[in-house]
């Protein structure tokens, strides 16, 4: 993956990439729009975005801005969160079919039954969840503030954590705190296995393994550093190491290489036949779709007001518990 625009043609439709970028910039000004993009989107989207960040940074950016329109290049729950925080703004998304399978693996009806088994428990849910799940939760969290939030819950208080079991058990192990876990996982991160990760470590003995907490324990136990996409990125800048094996979605490598061009970044292997673990949903955001959604002001994210208000509380609580 490189930052060279001329090397990227997928999704360009009838327009050249330079032309598309120019048109997007003009539209952005005319519409007073803010383009937010996650690190896992393709490089050309990251290049045209106003802010590229992890889930927490993007939620904060969605909350604090003067734009009239938010254009969200990420997955559905991210744009939905932006709309929950901004009912009066138009929130657009290049492709609303870009859902997060982890979020979709936790249906509200089943989660409600799960929750009913532990009536005294506090429910902390990962932001990678639907608005229905957030409405059933006490506090939302992301991978960058999950630990900080759990630390603020009194010892002895029972906690339900969902939907990501790997993030939940990572925090449990780190804090020595038992939590009741919903058994969801991200197919991208769960696909990394100890066997192939150790092979990569042998192949690059000078490299540090860094991993996202959505990876399994068997992978995390070998990592020199574990953190959210932004924490991983910051670590690669501050670490004295000059080579990293990166166990997360490889979209982040674009920004890592940009920030530390002298360092080497090796995407962690999934298995020999299928070397990179790619989030196909994030990659559904193309520059052409971004342009078209701004031009046509659709697809637009809308949410029922009762559901919005019910889910807003848990997001607001997260933001209050993790001040900048
Ligand atoms: P963060 O960028 O918050 O670490 O989340 C990773 C992810 O999988 C987003 O869907
Ligand atoms: Fe969902 Fe995993 Fe893709 Fe993130 S990387 S959007 S958690 S499927």
Q: Where are the domains of the chain?
A: 3-99+282-302, 102-187, 192-267
Q: How far apart are CA 87 and CA 274, in angstroms?
A: 42
Q: What's the average model confidence in pLDDT over 253-276?
A: 91
When pLDDT is cut at 50, 70 and 90, the band that residue 13 belongs to is low
Domains 102-187 and 192-267 alike in fold: yes
Is the alpha carbon torsion for 106, 110, 111, 114 positive or negative?
negative
For the chain, give the mean pLDDT.
94
Residue nearest to atom 5 of ligand 2 (CA): 279
What does the pLDDT look like over 199-217, one tens digit per residue?
Answer: 999 999 999 999 999 999 9
pTM: 0.94
Decide if pLDDT at 47 tops 70.
Answer: yes
Backbone φ and ψ of 246, nearest 5°:
-105, 110
Pocket flag, ligand 2, residue 102 (CB < 6 Å)? yes
Q: Is 63 left (phi over 0), alpha (psi -120 to 50) or beta?
A: alpha
The CATH architecture assigned to 3-99+282-302 reads 3-Layer(aba) Sandwich (3.40)
Pocket flag, ligand 2, residue 167 (CB < 6 Å)? no
Q: What's the average model confidence in pLDDT over 283-302?
A: 98
Percent of the chain's residues with pLDDT above 90: 92
pLDDT in the model for residue 209: 98
Tell me if the domain spanning 102-187 has CATH number 3.40.50.10800: yes
Distance from the CA of 293 to the center of ligand 2, in angstroms? 22
Provide the CATH topology of domain 192-267: Rossmann fold (3.40.50)
Q: Which of 58, 101, 146, 232 to mutate to test the pocket of ligand 2 (most atoms within 8 A of CB)?
A: 101
């Amino acid at each position: 993956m490189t930052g060279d625009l001329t090397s990227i043609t997928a999704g360009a439709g009838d327009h050249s990439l330079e032309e598309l970028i120019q048109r997007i910039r003009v539209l952005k000004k005319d519409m007073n729009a803010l383009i937010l993009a996650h690190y896992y989107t393709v490089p050309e989207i990251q290049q045209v975005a106003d802010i590229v960040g992890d889930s927490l940074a993007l939620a904060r950016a969605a909350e604090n801005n003067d734009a009239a329109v938010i254009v969200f290049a990420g997955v559905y729950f991210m744009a939905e969160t932006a709309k929950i925080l901004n009912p009066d703004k138009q929130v657009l998304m290049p492709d609303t079919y870009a859902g997060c399978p982890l979020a979709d693996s936790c249906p509200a009806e089943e989660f409600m039954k799960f929750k009913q088994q532990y009536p005294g428990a506090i429910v902390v849910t990962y932001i990678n969840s639907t608005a229905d799940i957030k409405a059933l939760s006490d506090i939302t969290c992301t991978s960058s503030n999950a630990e900080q939030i759990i630390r603020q819950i009194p010892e002895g208080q029972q906690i339900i954590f969902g939907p990501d079991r790997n993030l939940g058990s990572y925090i449990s192990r780190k804090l020595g705190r038992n939590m009741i876990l919903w058994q969801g996982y991200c197919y991208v991160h769960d696909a990394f296995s100890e066997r192939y990760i150790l092979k990569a470590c042998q192949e690059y003995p000078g490299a540090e393994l860094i991993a996202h907490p959505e990876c399994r324990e068997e992978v995390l136990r070998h990592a020199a550093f574990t953190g959210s996409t932004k924490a991983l990125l910051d670590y690669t800048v501050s670490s004295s190491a000059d080579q990293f094996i990166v166990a997360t979605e490889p979209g982040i490598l674009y920004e890592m290489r940009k920030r530390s061009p002298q360092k080497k970044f090796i995407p962690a292997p999934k298995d020999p036949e299928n070397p990179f673990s790619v989030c196909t949903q994030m990659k559904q955001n193309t520059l052409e779709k971004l342009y078209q959604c701004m031009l046509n002001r659709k697809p637009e994210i809308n949410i029922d007001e009762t559901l919005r208000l019910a889910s807003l509380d848990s997001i607001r609580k997260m933001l209050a518990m993790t001040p900048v």
